[in-house]
Amino acid sequence: MGGIFAILLLLVIVALLILRARHSGVEAGDRIGDGLRSLKAGKEQYHLLTREVLDETPDEKLVAAVLYNLWAKMDASLSDAHAVLSGLSDGRRLIFALYAVTGGVAEYGFKKVLAGPDGVFAEDCLIGLRAIGADRSADIFARALTGSADLPDDAYVEAFEAEDGRARMTQYIRDHADQFVDFS
């Protein structure tokens, strides 16, 4: 009887180890391909933004909803982002610029972002920072644009986070909802 119990206990331990190995460090959304599936689903869900959709979207998802809507209008490579955005409202351009440039600075630094494809959004990012009321971030960003100071990239990113830039973007969208609605 003791031998059967030991075998059952061993089988349970092996099963638990297998389950743990399968799931260790891999959360839903972290597997290869999950990001692309999420992007596709978001673009499908928000391809057409109406006032009703904006109003019903929770604050924590609002910036993403606007970005999905913009990405749905662009080529998958985003190579036409500037052309697409140039035909849209100021609000859409500013939110996209804030997202692209701030994310780029956090990931790659000012020099690479300003010299790369997202550099064309730098002026809109600065205007966007002022529009959302992130004045400290805007001051740091303006100094980085002029090259008048050798600022660490972290200074801008930390200021943006300290000023709760994402929440300010959300509030800007709420306050200017008509700029984010599709009319077609």
Structure tokens at 43: 């673009």
The DSSP line for 38-105 is HHHHHHHHTSS--HHHHHHS-HHHHHHHHHHHHHHTS-TT-TTHHHHHHTS-HHHHHHHHHHHHHHHH
Confidence of residue 25 (pLDDT cuts 50, 70, 90): very low
**pLDDT averaged over every residue in the chain:** 83
Is residue 7 pLDDT above 90, yes or no?
no
The tens digit of pLDDT for each residue in 35-49 reads 667 778 878 888 899
Could you tell me which CATH class the domain 34-180 is placed in?
A: mainly alpha
CA angle centred on 16, ends 11 and 3, rounded to 5°? 20
pTM of the model: 0.78
pLDDT in tens, 128-163: 999 999 999 999 999 988 876 667 778 999 999 999
What tokens were used for 129? 């920072």
- Per domain, the residue ranges of the chain are 1-31, 34-180
